[in-house]
Amino acid sequence: MDMTVPAGAPPFELFSWDVWRDPYPFFATLREQYPIYRHPITPFWIISRYDDVNEIVTHPEVYSSRFPGNFDRTLNGTDAPEHTAIRRRLSPLASRQSVAALKAAVERHVDRLIDDFAGSGRCEFVSEFAQPLPFRVMAEWLGLDQSLYDTCVAEVFPFLMAEPLLDGQGEPLVDQEALEHRYVALLNGEISAFDETGRSGVLPDLLKPAGDMPPLDQETVAQLAKILLFAGHKTSACALANSIWLLLGNPDILDALRQDISLVPSFVEESFRLESPVQSLFRITTAETELAGLAIPPFSFIRPMVGAANRDKERFQDADEIRLDRKEKNHLGLGLGPHLCLGAHLARMIVSVSLTGLISRLQDLQTDTPLDQVERIRSPNFRGIKQLPITFGAI
């Protein structure tokens, strides 16, 4: 079968500022005209329709997560049987029941952060809430010290798992490998001190036996800490900022939530769908396969675009709108299939509890920055916001 892009197909530049700022017109063109698009510059096949992305994420035997150079080589960068074994060890610690026990702690962190700026009538939402809140929760859940915040969030996280940042001369601006080594060394120092500090949490638990499962070695725990802390923080921080951005642009939805706070979880699902924090995934084919009638060779690099699939009008009615009564489920904002986000329950709770607290305590939410001019994170992998100044009246 034909494996080429139709003649005249427009270039889709994954790394341009226009795409980072507003990817959805590009995604719509891809879905409608070039749903299986072989990028002319990079080695990627870009997949944009929901059914095709769903096919990829639910069939790891064909579309492997063992992608060369994967930042995470312990959990998300593995397939069965290794992936199955590590998920079996971690899943009870991230279950709905286990996460529910953290709700009081999340509420405490939310209230303390709001207390810090409620009296001033304004805040820079990303740096004063969306960034610190998920880090505090993740650190407490994992058993890490809160003092890691400045190093991780300011120095390490902005560059990890991003596309290589170049200076215009083809030279990387940062040594990502050295940065990763520094990050892991920092985590190893924390893990080595668990006996001395007496901390509790997911990471100390992994160093102990659990039923018929033996303890994990420190190197494996450090690698898991690397991805759990980074991914948990990044996903929730982006989701929080995206959610407030959506509410500022949809005051009718904000009013509906004020009138019925029980609708917050429904809005959270729509936020994860419409403004998916993780915009794209990476897979590699294990054999020649066929997708949507197109033959794809073995060892092809596949880039399923979650942000495009979640707005597919063939899957979701009024796909570009917030629908608090939406019946269609299984959006891909937190993954699907064997690699469903391990921290999905925790991410949902962080955003739901945060929005409940913010809506209950702050009124007349506004921003002085035009919403279409808000500075976005410059990454094709993540959908987030760098700064979002807001004003409000405290209730």
Could you report how far apart the first and last alpha carbons of the chain are, in Å?
63
**CB 260, CB 360: distance < 8 Å:** no
Distance set, CA 282 to CA 11, 156, 161, 221, 279 (Å):
20, 22, 11, 23, 11
Q: Average pLDDT for residues 264-288, to the nearest whole number?
A: 96
- The pLDDT score that the predictor gives to residue 298 is 96
Alpha helices (H) along 5-142: 17-21, 24-33, 50-57, 82-90, 96-100, 103-118, 125, 132-142
In the predicted structure, residue 175 carries a pLDDT above the cut 80: no
Q: Average pLDDT for residues 185-201, to the nearest whole number?
A: 93
Could you give the CA distance from residue 318 to residue 336 in angstroms, rounded to a whole number? Answer: 22
Distance set, CA 309 to CA 32, 65, 158, 289, 337 (Å):
12, 19, 25, 20, 15
- The pLDDT score that the predictor gives to residue 189 is 95
- The pLDDT score that the predictor gives to residue 166 is 47
Q: How confident is the model at residue 19 (pLDDT cuts 50, 70, 90)?
A: confident
In the predicted structure, residue 329 carries a pLDDT above the cut 80: yes
Could you give phi then psi for residue 344, rounded to 5 degrees? -60, -45
> What is the per-residue pLDDT across 116-166, written as a single tens digit (0 to 9) for each?
999 999 999 999 999 999 999 999 999 999 999 999 998 888 777 554 454
Return the H-helix or E-strand segment holding 294: strand 294-296
In the predicted structure, residue 5 carries a pLDDT above the cut 60: no
- The pLDDT score that the predictor gives to residue 9 is 54
The amino acid at residue 97 is: Q
Q: How confident is the model at residue 281 (pLDDT cuts 50, 70, 90)?
A: very high
> What is the per-residue pLDDT across 56-76, written as a single tens digit (0 to 9) for each?
999 999 999 998 877 788 998
All structural domains of the chain, each given as residue ranges with its CATH number in brackets, are: 17-394 (1.10.630.10)
- The pLDDT score that the predictor gives to residue 333 is 96
Q: List all residues 6 or more positions away from 193 whose beta carbon is below 8 Å from its beta carbon.
A: none
Could you give phi then psi for residue 324, rounded to 5 degrees? -70, -15
